[in-house]
Amino acid sequence: MKAKREALLGLLRAIEEGKVDEDIIYLLLLINSIKGVYTTSSCSGRIGIIEEPALGAKPLSRWLVKVHRPLTFEEAKEALMRAERGLIFLKSQPPIFHVVSENLEIAKKVHALGLASGFKYTTFKAISSRYLVEINGTEYLTVPLGRDGKVFVDDEYLLFALEVGNEMLRRSKERLPRLEENFRKLKEELGEDELFRKLTR
């Protein structure tokens, strides 16, 4: 698949440039090594504070801090000092993987695998010229903190919100080993992709 070659080259380049979340590099390489399967944009799960000019204005949003591990109270306080304009939110988001399959039969296997690994929001996102499965968890948290540079919550509440957000991130990341194991089984079933072997040699 020409698309897989381009996606794999992009992934290898991004890994080299340090643009891929370190805790899922092995898993992404494992998925891409499977015959008939490759990944597009994926994330290992993250927590951060974001500034949005208005509700739904995602393209114009600005992360004040964003990490792929628990966020500390000090990091959050420092980030809030940089807030200027718009709504301020604390966001915690689970791991997400976009997996393309070369046919519907494989896509169904990937879909079932995601659900079996505990990622209950796993869905088919596109069924046309390609079969895209989004493997996604349920642990989403969005908490409003303020507006236009003003923080409307006290330190006690911020600490509480961080504890909840960090715990949700930890719980969602705990499913990654199970997901890895299930993709390893899929690889045993479908075999290794020759293209992956060539490009990673």
pLDDT digits (tens, 9 = 90+) for 53-63: 888 767 789 99
Could you give the CA distance from residue 154 to residue 78 in angstroms, rounded to a whole number?
14
Residues 174, 175, 176, 181: is their CA dihedral positive or negative? Answer: positive
Left (φ > 0), alpha (ψ -120 to 50) or beta: where does 178 sit?
alpha
Distances (CA, A) of 190 to 30, 31, 32, 40, 144: 12, 11, 12, 20, 45
- Overall fold of domain 2-187: SSo0622-like fold (3.30.1960)
Q: What is the mean pLDDT of residues 83-100?
A: 96
Q: How does residue 132 score in pLDDT terms, banded at 50, 70 and 90?
A: very high
Could you give the CA distance from residue 119 to residue 96 in angstroms, rounded to a whole number?
9
pLDDT of residue 65: 98
Model confidence, pTM: 0.90
Condensed to tens digits (0 to 9), the pLDDT of residues 26-76 reads: 999 999 999 999 999 899 999 999 999 888 767 789 999 999 999 999 999
Three-class secondary structure of residue 40 per DSSP: coil
